[in-house]
Each structure stands twice: as structure tokens, then as C-alpha cells.
Structure 1
Amino acid sequence: MLLDVDGVLNPMGRPTRDYRRYRCTIGGEVYTVHLNPMHGRGLLDLAIATGSELVWATTWEQYANEWIAPRIGLPSLPVIPLPPQPPSEHGEMFKTPHVAAYAGRRPFVWFDDQVWAEDENYLRVRRGLDDFLLIHVDPMRGLTRRHLGMAEEWLTLTGFSQGP
């Protein structure tokens, strides 16, 4: 299960009461993030129930392990490196080729606020991948139980779940 931070775990809209505000300093820049500690438990429970691995797919890269993971109760996770990429010729997001390279032929669920039909097309047509689910998260609201339910259903129905 691939996780973005901004727009997914850190919504852009007005956070609800279950979010906490943090100030993070990265490379001399101060960022304000709003994080819901319940997200960590929900993601961990889903990963355990489905035998999935959680992986950061975010421009925060390693900083997600330093600033995000401990604040929502996640352990340090693997990180998909996102070096600069030339502009897309097919409309896919800059992260998509990196995600495809990392995933290889393994099935995956990707929670991101910037995945669209172009990303799905790129993965299916240009990379020949079939076993994935892109879950578009509304960046104003962030990750919800509905998104976790979609992932659980897909992982279970497709037979990728390793859980009971």
C-alpha cells in the first residue's frame, strides 16, 4: 500500500477536530501539517489484515519517516525515491514512473490525491501492469474510512490478501 502525505494524510482543507497541528522544519523551511493519529492505526490494521506492506510514495521521501510516521503511530517505512523527472508526454503524474519501477509486477494500492485516468493508463498500457488500485483521495478532506474500505475490499476480492 503506497501512501502520499499532502492531500492524503495532511488534508489541504480545514481539518476536523480529530487532526492535530504540527510544525515541521525541513532544510530550514517550516511546514505546518495537520495529522490524524487514527490514520496510523487504520493503515497498520489494514496492512496486517491483508498481509500488505506500507510504503511512502511522497515528495516528503525520508522526511515522512522523521516527521509524519511517529505522529500518526507508524513505524519507519520503505520510501520510493522520487528524483526529478522530465515532464510527462502522456499526462501521468511525475511519481507514476517511479511507483511503477518500485512495484515491478507486485500488486499495489496507491492512496494519492493526484492519481487520475492518465496514471492508470500509463501503468496499464505503458508498463503492462494489471494488478493495482489507484485510490484518488480528495485533498480537501484527506484519507477516510471509505478509502481504507476500498483498499481492503480490493485486496480481499482479488485474492492478494494474506490475512484470515
Structure 2
Amino acid sequence: MKPLLLLDVDGVLNPMGRPTPDFRRYRCTIGTDVYTVHLNPRHGRRLLELAVVTGSELVWATTWEHHANDWIAPRIGLPSLPVISMGSSSDAPASEYGEMFKTPHVAAYAGQRPFVWFDDQVWAEDEEYLRVHQGLADFLLVHVDPRQGLTSRHLGMAHEWLTLTGFSQGS
């Protein structure tokens, strides 16, 4: 079973803190809303390398949904990726364990596939939901500090977990 690498945008690829010089600023227009994002063009290459080396599939797990393929992917060098539909946060069922609204959608999409989820809002409550409610055991939640965004350390954690658990499908 090919493992998944699940990507959030805001707080992960688009940090909330003051970006370092390797980030570029972009303005994105979605409908009538204009957003400013700070993206590091190296993130795409590094994520693709991780996917190839581990034989994993990159998937958007973000409220940007398909807009991530339009606005984020081309600016960091990613191809169009599959998207987990998040629905509306107001339509989400009541939280059972204190998990965030995206967690049930991620669980449904992943099924029994192992996955690494990079997000700035994953906590122990999300892990409990996935283990107890969904019966999943083969996942790694990588909490990303939203002030800094995705770092080499986060990518290294994913690589190590996929390799040591034997889920890596890569060379």
C-alpha cells in the first residue's frame, strides 16, 4: 500500500510568522477574496524528493482544497495533486475527542493506508480520534510550528518514520 504525505498550506507551506529571505510573497485571488501568501520555492522540490525516495503519494489536506493546485503548487514546483475534500467547517460533525474538523475527512480519505500528515493544527486529540474512532495505527502526525512553517526537521521525521516502519516504497 503506497503511503500518503498529506500537506496543509497555511502554517505549513505558508508560515504565519515573519518569513525568512528564501520565501517569496504572492497575492492570490479566489473569488472576491485576495490572500497574501509567503512560499518557499524549494519546498516543492524537497517534498517531491521525499515522495520519490519513500514511494509516497503527495496529497493536499487543506481548506484551500483545489485552489492549492491553482495557486500554491505552481509557485513551489509541485504538479497538480489529489485533494481531500474538507467540506465546510460549519457542516462538520461535533468533535468527539477535541479533534479539528479536518481529521474525520483525512481519516476517511486515508482509509487503511499509512500516512504522514504535516499540519500546524494536529494535536494529541487528533491522534486519539484516529486511533480510537477510526482504528488507525499507521500514521505520523507532524505538528508544524505555524510561525516557521515546514522545515528540514519535519521532512526528516517523515522520512525516518516511513523508512523505519517499513512503509517506504522507495529505493
Same fold (TM over 0.5): yes
The secondary structure found in structure 2 opposite 1:101 is: helix
- 1:13 pairs with 2:17: yes
Give the aligned residue type for 1:12. Answer: M
1:156 is paired with a residue of what secondary structure? helix
Q: Residue type matched to 1:128 in 2? A: G
Which among 122, 127, 130 is matched to residue 120 of structure 1?
A: 127
**Cα offset, 1:162, TM superposition:** 1.2
For residue 37 of structure 2, give the secondary structure of its aligned residue in structure 1: strand
Amino acid at match of 1:101: A
Q: Which runs of 5+ in 2 are unaligned?
A: none
Corresponding residue of 1:45:
49
What is the percent sequence identity of the aligned residues? 81
How far off is 1:13 after superposition?
0.1
Partner of 2:82: 78
2:168 matches 1:161: yes
Which digits, 9 at most, give the CA deviation of each residue in 1:37-68, with x for residues without a partner?
A: 00000000000000000000000000000000
Counterpart Cα distance in 1 of 2:149 and 2:94 = 26
CA RMSD of aligned residues (A): 0.6
Partner of 2:39: 35
Q: Identify unmatched segments of 5+ residues in structure 1.
A: none
Q: Partners of 1:99 and 1:126 in 2: how far apart?
A: 13
Give the 5 Å matches for 1:100-111: 100-111=107-118
Q: For residue 64 of structure 2, what is the amino acid of its counterpart?
A: W
CA distance in 2, matches of 1:34, 1:106: 31
Distance (Å, rounded) in 1 between the aligned partners of 2:28 and 2:157: 31
Displacement of 1:163 in angstroms is: 1.4
- Structure 1 residue runs of 4 or more that deviate by more than 4 Å after TM superposition: none
The offset of 1:87, in angstroms, is 3.2
Cα distance in structure 2, aligned partners of 1:39 and 1:116 = 23
**Equivalent AA in structure 1 for residue 32 of structure 2:** G
